[in-house]
Structure 1
Amino acid sequence: MGSVEALAATFNRPGSITVFAGEGGLPAVRLASPTSAASATVYLHGAHVASWTDGGGTSLLYMSPTAVYDGKKALRGGIPLCWPQFGPGALPQHGFARTSAWALAATADEAGALSATFALGSSPGTRAAGFAADWVLTYTVRLAKAGGALSLRLAAAVAAGSPPAPITAALHTYFAVPSAAGVAVKGLAGLTYRDSADGGRERTEAADAVTVGAAEVDRVYLDAPSTVRLERGPSAGAVVMRTKNFPDAVVWNAYVDKTAALADMPDEDWRRYVCVEAVSVKTPVVVEGGGSGWGR
């Protein structure tokens, strides 16, 4: 990974991109537009996007004030990167990308955007965990200087001669909201969803807008559209999520009881976020040796 000082000497871009020691001393990269209030912070631990502010100065991600920055546990809030497994399975919950130490591979200050690219590769540890493939994962976080639009691109390349890599994945985004009870997620009407709060039972979404704040909501919407809109509440604006090669979507809010069981989130903070996630889970993507795949 390298020291913060060494990384800063290589990857800092004066006036826009800064490598620094974040919470717990963990190395992080801050992208800050020189022409607007837009900014984003990404930790190398998990390649975890921990903050995102748009060009008007609105902070759009929830980070738990009790998140654990020990370089081992996944950070609670922001945008955890779930790969190569979403949810439970043969590997640790949500895979190992979100708890791994990534390398900072590149930064760029371009005419209209700032970016940082992170890299992670297979190791004896990932093979011992049960993921046999030899692979390299790259993740590029791009921030538009003017409006602050955030773009995330995840790409996996599998070495020639390697066993194939079966992949499910998610960009597990915690959007900050004034009140969970006031949000509406639009674009999912008529879709089949797996209701994880009810044992995985499949249902059809009858509502024009998915709402949270009255009970636990944990739904995987299958074959979702590429555009989903989150209305953050009265006078709070909206966020439009556009995806490619993430064919499913998740809406999640832990509500009261599940939040009380989380050691790294205050009991009342279920009111402060809703997760709307770009997901690939219905059908695992299998990348053969010598092949590659990507999503955003």
Structure 2
Amino acid sequence: MQACIKSGCRPSAPAFGGRVRSDVRRAQVKVCASAVADMQKKYGIPGSVEFVEGQGGLPTVMLKHACGASAQVYLFGGAVCSWKQASGDEVLYVRPDAVFDKSKPISGGVPHCFPQFGPGAMQQHGFARNLDWEVASTSADFQPDERDPEVELVLSESDYTLKMWPHKFKAVYTVTLHGEQLRTDFRVMNTGDKPFEFTTALHTYFEVLHVDKAKVTGLKGLTYLDKSKDPKNPAKGTEQREAVTFGKDLVDSVYLAAPEHVELEVGTGAAVAIDATGWEDIVVWNPHLTMKACYENFVCVENAITNRSITVQPGESWRATTNFQVVDVQ
């Protein structure tokens, strides 16, 4: 894998200038710093879990494994924005147009799509990716050789969410480093008195050496919906290729009833192995020339529920897990 995110991250320009804006910004930074210090005192674990100010001063959880691997999780959006191997090689990708001022969701890493994937009755990809998640707990196994750092984040209904989606819920997202592996566990609980439905995805961006060298294996024989020409009326087909490739055009396909294991070869002799349970579909996306500044540097392979809605009855829950691991290409 390449050693760093090529384009870096930058906050957007201020909405208005002058001293008032500066004073507001200083006050926000002061509040954020205080909140981060409180989180560190309550949830920090020396050598394993640390709370810091990330880009734009946003509260961020740093997971550090004894093997040298690390992960960075922003509370805003519950987004994993970095996952590095022990070598320091970055696996994820954050787009150069990403902003860290809460004006919009973070573009890159592993954003949430919940309770809606894509366009629909509410805002694009739902609200989970542009709200602050709360820290529920942190842990690190005290076995010296298995000290896996972990953070559990929670999102619940608010006046803001109820206006878009009139349901009481509790979403719990756990991120763990198991050696160099990144593990996620996503649970959605119905805490209300009536059933609700949702679609969802982990909109994962992976850094690649070059898009024309990347390919996804494990999808041959699957039915897929090609949204590249007309997202509202996608063409249906059966995947005949041993590997899905990129670089010649926009790629936006939903593979239905996907297997639990797929791999993304990144062009360096390495691949990201993705093992999932509970996720039914896989979305493969690269924007091609619609994002000229960065399309050559990433591919999205997204664990998703898109073709049907999940129904959760009152008092019940739904769960899906993923395990990401860098492996050598066979």
| Separation of aligned partners in 1, 2:125 and 2:181 | 26
Distance 2:57 2:170 in 1: 26
TM-superposition CA deviations, 1:233-260 (whole Å, max 9, x none): 143x01110111101001100001x21x
Match of 2:20 in 1: none
State the Cα distance separating 1:54 from its structure 2 match: 2.0
Paired position in structure 2 for 1:262: none
Q: Identify the residue that residue 214 of structure 1 maps to in structure 2.
A: 248
8 Å CA contact 1:180–1:271 kept in 2: the answer is: yes
Residues in 1 aligned to 2:159 and 2:108: alpha-carbon distance in whole angstroms:
29
Residue equivalent to 1:117: 152
Residues 27/186 of structure 1: CA separation in 2 closer, same or farther (3 Å cut): same
Confirm or deny that 1:223 pairs with 2:257: yes
Q: Is the 8 A contact 1:36 1:56 kept in 2?
A: no
For each residue in 1:83-127, what CA deviation from the matched residue of structure 2 results, as whole angstroms up to 9, or x when unmatched?
111111111110100001110111111132110010010112111
Q: Which runs of 5+ in 2 are unaligned?
A: 1-31, 322-330
Q: Which residue in the other structure is 1:134 paired with?
A: 168
Question: In the alignment, what sits opposite 2:213?
Answer: 182
User: Residue type matched to 2:36 in 1?
Assistant: V
Q: Distance in 2 between matches of 1:115 and 1:283?
A: 31
Aligned residue number for residue 77 of structure 2? 46
Gaps of 5+ in 1: 260-266
1-structure distance, mates of 2:140, 2:191: 31
Matched, 1:165 2:196: yes
Matching of residues 55-70 of structure 1 within 5 Å: 55-70=86-101
**What CA distance in whole angstroms lies between the structure 2 residues aligned with 1:48 and 1:64?**
13
Deviations along 1:160-215, one digit per CA (max 9) or x if unpaired, are 52x22211110110001110100110000111111110211111111110001111
Question: Pick from 3, 11, 24: which aligns with 2:56?
Answer: 24
Tell me the TM-score normalised to structure 2 length.
Answer: 0.83
Q: RMSD across aligned C-alpha pairs, in angstroms?
A: 1.3
Deviations 1:57-86 (A, max 9, x none): 321001123311112311011001111111
Among residues 136, 139, 142, which one is paired with 1:108 in the alignment?
139
Q: What is the total number of aligned residue pairs between the two structures? A: 282
Task: Please give the alpha-carbon distance, in whole angstroms, between the structure 2 residues aligned to 1:28 and 1:234.
Answer: 30
**Could you tell me which amino acid in structure 2 is paired with residue 165 of structure 1?**
F
Q: Distance in 1 between matches of 2:267 and 2:307?
A: 30
Give the Cα–Cα distance (whole angstroms) in 2 for the partners of residues 231 and 218 of structure 1: 18
The amino acid of 1:154's aligned partner reads F
Contact 2:96 2:294 in 1 (8 A): no
- Matching of residue 248 in structure 1 with residue 281 in structure 2: yes
Deviation per residue, 1:244-280 (Å, 9 max, x gap): 1101001100001x21xxxxxxx33101000001011
- Aligned with 2:300 (options 275, 278, 288): 275
* 3-state DSSP of counterpart to 1:118: strand
Which of 39, 42, 46 is matched with 1:14 structurally? 46
- Alignment partner of 1:196 out of 213, 221, 227: 227
Structure of higher CA gyration radius: 2
Name the structure 1 match of 2:28. Answer: none
Q: 1:247-266 residue pairs with structure 2 within 5 A?
A: 247-256=280-289, 258-259=290-291
Residue type of the alignment partner of 1:109: A
What is the aligned partner in structure 2 of residue 264 from structure 1? Answer: none
Displacement of 1:157: 0.9
Instruction: For 1:190, give the aligned amino acid.
Output: G
Match of 2:115 in 1: 84
Equivalent position SS for 1:197: coil
CA–CA separation in structure 2 for the residues paired with 1:92 and 1:243: 27
Letter in 2 for 1:203: G
Secondary structure of 2:228's counterpart equals helix
Please state if 1:289 is matched with 2:322.
Answer: no
